[in-house]
Amino acid sequence: MRRRDGVTVAVFVGIFVLLAVALAPFAWNVLTSFKEKGEYFTYPPVFVPSSFDLEHYVRGLHLGGAKGIKDSFIIASLTTLLAIALGSLAAYSLSRFRIGGDNFAFWILSVRMMPPIASVLPLFLFFRFLRWLDTYQALIFTYALVNIPFAVWMMKGFFDELPVELEEAALIDGCGRLGAFVRVALPLVAPGLVATALFCFMFSWNEFLFALILGRSRVVPITVNIAGLIGGHEILWAEISAVSIVASVPIIVLAILLQRYLVRGLTLGAVKG
Amino acid sequence: MGGLRKRDWWMAFLFVLPVVVILLAISIFPMVYSFYLSLCRWDIGMGGQRTFIGAGNYLRLFSDARFFNSLKNTGRVLLFGVGTQFALGLSLALLLNRSFRGRSLVVTLFLLPMMISPVVVGCIWKIIYHYQYGPLNYLLNLLGIRSVNWLGSGSISPYSIVLADIWEWTPFMVITLLAGLQAIPDDLYEAARVDGANRWQIFSGVVFPLLRPVVIIAILIRVMDAFKIFDLVVLLTMGGPGQASESVAFYNYLTGFKYFSMGYASAMSYVQLAVIVAIANVFLRSFKGRAVV
């Protein structure tokens, strides 16, 4: 068994080294968020900052970080609600009645794959015409373009896995079609519904291109706020790091909650995981 | 569930109606409009009039060296970025495809770079790549290597973007391929081992053929995403120095929203749409095969 032990040790050393490489940039970001200006503009670099107070976090939140988080939260929650509500209805229809057939389902999915730069240009002109630029609703509907197809497709997968016999039993018991959907099918796919919602929230929270073009001064999602800080005259690295960490924490929590469904969500349901 | 009764049909129809209406309003109509725009000259910055010029914008693309440069940079992300992500991701997935204590924590930690916003990834790497004060050059100096101008040199900055992209997206390959590996039943390994196959033979003869559908899906998804690369370019280099590291999506953004040439920008976005449609078709076809775990 000696050779096997050697292989096992090598495997764990390999995993450990790669893990260190994967996490080091995060560690540097966290350290930077506590550094004073003299500590990040210096050579050789200072590794451990002199103090660990939250001064830069407070200042970063004042420099638009708090507003960015509020805007991102409003936009991401509302677009998620919209996508989930409409998406699960359509998904049920596709799954149980096969309405429109396979091609219709694939058309919906294909909307999800459009390059954002291709759709943002006509949307920009469209929202300019409606005087919707720099409003929440412009971004909420734009993200629906990505989230609705995603929600339809994910929820269709979850409904497909549900045995129809349960709903048939409900129908025989005198429940209407709508009742079978609301009282039987929907509660049973609740975990899938939550997972899909969290994914939609995550996509919208992290998105940058649409936010950059359709927001401006009244609506500045967190990603645009961070990019703006980087483009500023004087680059406040500690504040930028601090805001980027605050923006990432909710997403990391969601990712951990979603672990079971992660592969499925990220491959649009193609790999069930 | 048998044939559709008339009442059911109405319900099924009403259920999909809102989705169809919204998707038509925010995808199909705008796309039709922008196709029309792609056949026009329309520079809204100058207050210019919209004039129909037919295929003029598309012809202009073919002689636009800056467009070809941006294509080259995007191609570099596809080739080196996605290629490395696949090689690294597969190795790591094979390493992680065993049970040990704390495994799910380790897998979660590996996934973090992909979960956070690309904008945050850009911030993190912008600090790391800093020529004078960044930790990366410091480490190189310790090893006796001269500082590299990661973001300020035209021959290097496109690769710096690729490197950050590799860091961000290798986790996607890891988790997807790992899911594929775990779907392979243990007794297949056993049977191969009983037949006297060595590690490499098991991998090439048993594991890889079974993994292939997942590999295809994972690569297609990454290729589609990498083709759209935008955020890292904005955050790290702004396409610079000069135009050295512009991606197609970034050049398209500048054309539309800095130079306000709406017609030319629409034509450019239609070319990208055509490429994505082609890749997406392959993706959907492998989907229809239902060969995937």
Give this complex's ipTM. 0.90
In a domain, A9, yes or no: no
Residue A89 in this model has a pLDDT that exceeds 90: yes
Q: Are the C-beta atoms of A134 and A72 separated by less than 8 Å?
A: no
Residue of B nearest to A273 (CA): B179
User: CATH number, domain at A94?
Assistant: 1.10.3720.10
* Cβ neighbours of B110 in A, within 8 Å: 18-19, 22
Residues of A in contact with B262 (CB under 8 A): 121, 125
**Cβ separation of B13 and A230 shorter than 8 Å?**
no
Overall number of domains in chain B: 1
CA distance, residue A176 to nearest chain B CA (Å): 10
A158, A260 Cβ separation under 8 angstroms: no
Report the C-alpha gap between B247 and B227 in whole angstroms. 9
- pLDDT, one tens digit per residue, over A107-152 is 888 888 888 988 899 999 889 889 999 999 999 999 998 999 999 9
Residue B43 lies in a domain: no
Residue B54 lies in a domain: no
Task: Give the pLDDT confidence score for residue B2 in this predicted structure.
Answer: 47
Give contacts of A175 with chain B, Cβ < 8 Å: none
Taking CB atoms and an 8 Å limit, are A267 and B30 in contact across chains?
Answer: no
The answer to whether residue B47 is domain-embedded is no
Q: Where are the beta strands (DSSP E) in chain B?
A: 40-41, 51-52
Residue B289: its pLDDT value, please?
A: 56
- Say if CB A72 and CB A221 are below 8 A apart: yes
Q: Is residue A217 part of a domain?
A: yes
The span from the CA of A206 to the CA of A69, in Å, is 11
Is A251 in the B-facing interface, judged by CB distances under 8 Å? yes
For residue B269, give the nearest of A100, A117, A271 by CB distance: A117
**How close A256 gets to chain B, by Cα (Å)?**
7
* Contact yes or no for A227 and B235 at CB 8 A: yes
Which residues in A lie closer than 8 A to residue B104 (C-beta atoms)? Answer: 259
Residues A181-230 have pLDDT tens digits of 888 899 999 999 999 999 999 999 999 999 999 998 899 999 999 999 88
Query: What are B249's two structure tokens?
Result: 């999506």
Q: Which domain holds residue A108?
A: 55-266
Say what the pLDDT of residue B291 is: 45
Q: Do the domain assignments include residue B20?
A: no
Domain contains B22: no
Amino acid B50 reads: R
Is B211 part of any domain?
yes
Contact A90 B19 (CB under 8 A): yes
> Does any CB of chain B come closer than 8 Å to the CB of residue A11?
yes
Residue A1: its pLDDT value, please? 46
Per-residue model confidence as pLDDT tens digits over B10-39: 888 889 999 999 998 888 888 888 899 999
**CATH label of the domain that carries residue B225:** 1.10.3720.10
* Residue pLDDT, tens place only, A226-273: 999 887 667 889 999 999 999 999 999 998 888 888 888 888 888 876
Distance from CA of A70 to the nearest CA of B (A): 16
Residue A130, in any domain of the structure: yes
Domain contains A271: no
Q: Are B267 and B38 in contact (CB under 8 A)?
A: yes
How many domains is chain A partitioned into structurally?
1
pLDDT at A226: 93
User: What whole-number distance in Å separates Cα of residue A185 and Cα of residue A93?
Assistant: 12
Query: Does residue A257 belong to the interface with chain B, where contact is any CB pair within 8 Å?
Result: no
Q: CA-to-CA distance for B190 and A246, rounded, in angstroms?
A: 48
- The answer as to whether B40 is a domain residue is no
Rounded Cα distance, A234 and A61, in Å: 17
Q: Which residue is closest to B88 within chain A, CA to CA?
A: A18
A118–chain B Cβ distance below 8 A for any pair: yes
A65 lies in a domain? yes
Q: Which residue has the higher pLDDT, B139 or A176?
A: B139
A221 CA to chain B: closest CA distance, Å?
12
Pairing of strands B40-41, B51-52: antiparallel
Q: In chain B, which residues have pLDDT < 50? A: 1-3, 291-293
Convert A147-180 to b/e letters by CB count within 10 Å (16 or more is b): bbbbbbbbbbbbbeebebeebeebbeeebebeeb
**Is the distance from CB of B117 to CB of A221 less than 8 angstroms?**
no
User: What is the structure's pLDDT at B290?
Assistant: 53
**A171 and B CB contact within 8 Å:** no
A9 at B interface, C-beta within 8 A: no
pLDDT at B139: 94
Q: Tell whether A20 is within 8 A of chain B (Cβ).
A: no
**Structural domain boundaries enclosing B82:** 59-288
- Give the residue among A54, A72, A73, A74 at the shortest CA–CA distance from A62: A54
Tell me whether residues B180 and A96 touch, CB distance under 8 A.
no
The answer, for A86 touching chain B at a CB cutoff of 8 Å, is: yes
CB pairs under 8 A between A and B: 275
* Alpha-carbon span A208 to A205, nearest angstrom: 9
Higher pLDDT, A53 or B168: B168
